[in-house]
Structure 1
Amino acid sequence: MNRASWWKGLLLLLIVFNLPACLPLAERASETATSGDLRVSRYVDGQGKTGITGQVVHKDSGAPLAEAYVNIYPDAVSNLLGPSQYISSPTDAEGRYNLEVPPGTYYVVARKRMSGQAAGPLAQGDYYSEHQRVITTVEEGTLALVDLQVVPMKAPMFFQKSVVDKRTETGIRGRLVDAAGKPVPGSFAVAYTDSDVRRLPDFASTLSDQQGNFTIFLPKGGVYYLAGRLHAWDMPRPGELYGRLGGEEPAPVEVVPGGFVENILIEMTPFSGEYKPGKSRRPY
């Protein structure tokens, strides 16, 4: 091998072995969807910063959405509802946001309330990320690149009282558990004024705690029918924990005005029905 060929071979080896380091981080990107979650692994050089950046756009048109907020949750215990661990400033005219967070794995959600508020229940006409949960892992010195598509809310969410805004002297207290009797935290009990539980609930509980405890505050006494839900909107998806008090034949619960019915136990098991998109008002 002559000297020129030897140098060419060495140069080729150097290029091959250093190729990944030469590529921009954003080009080493991947997205994988598992169990209804979308894991995004796209990065750009943070230039000394660590966090998440991206663009919020309308799903149908691809147009940027200004004045939206991006919420960052460390886990899904809250069903990605209520206060988040981190929240961005409003997106700019191009729908872009930047948020510094420490390294870790996060759920990323975009919302825009037409009221202009950064928090609170969503209402008809507001914008929100669709139901698939977006997860990303933030690495030291990089910005995870997470673009989010939003759609307008055409009907009220499965229920709007994800956070009870009015405490009353009348209601129902109990626990949500799975088939093994273990508590189901971060979920909701919902109440209906009739036995038709395949519709938008009339009332919803506080978010269940780590022991599965919930409280439903009611405006008056009467007969109610109860169910347990994991997600706060849409009909249950296959495998999602769901349950009705009484099973297939909903059991009535009589509530006396000015008092609480205690120790209600709702067992939640994986939903085995067929998912039908667009059934926010009538779950199934």
Structure 2
Amino acid sequence: MIRRYITYCLLLFVFVTATCFAAEIKQGTISGKWITKNDGPMANAQVLLFDMAVGPPPASEKYLRVPDVTTSIDNDGKFSVQVPPGRYYLVMRKRADESTFGPPRDGDLQYYSRDNRGKAKLIIVKSGKETKIGTISEASVFKKRQTKYEKGMTAIEGTVTDEEGKPLEGLRVFVYTSPEMVGKPQYASEGTGNDGKFLVNVNNEGTYYLKVRSHYGGGKPVDGEFMGGYGRPDAPAVVEVKKGQIKSDINISIQKFVVRGKPE
């Protein structure tokens, strides 16, 4: 009896200690302004943060990495966002068409935080502290480059079709690092061509899993939306990619989502 009581007290102590320790890990804050010389406060622009611990620096001209944290800029050009402690890459984007979202489009204004050598600059965030980046006055116009095969690129390519084998256009292939394929993907492709083909640069070698949807941004599927994954629903297929190689012939057959219980 006494031994059980002592064991119980030890377990309780460990639980309370762990809980208190977790409570002490506070989030940090990144704040700043984006006010350009030509356009003034960049109201309604997006602030995109990419956790260094999760993946490589963003490089929309080479691959599409999905941001880990996003927030908006107010009418005065200011923003402030809380994030877990860590190191982040920062991108800000002002849409030419504010009704669009997802990857950058021609005419969008962008700012990439870079150092004096032109490399992606890391923003360090500490627990309970505020990191101020100051006022950014620079912006460049995004011009989309045609996706092309480059020597030494690490990528996945294939075709998306319906159940009858017909190619599907305008769908996006999302790349995950876990078979559950929930939450935020690691990379995303441009929309499939009219031949259903896609090419997604994954930057690093590894084991990946693929999901297809008709739009960028996730959310609940709607009735009639094309969606699916590579492999069976209960057993996603593994895509092994080696550094400097393109994994080819990844053919994904998907179908339209149908709401259960929908009245005829």
Same fold (TM over 0.5): no
TM-score computed with the length of structure 2 as normaliser: 0.42
TM-score computed with the length of structure 1 as normaliser: 0.39
Structure number with greater Rg is 1
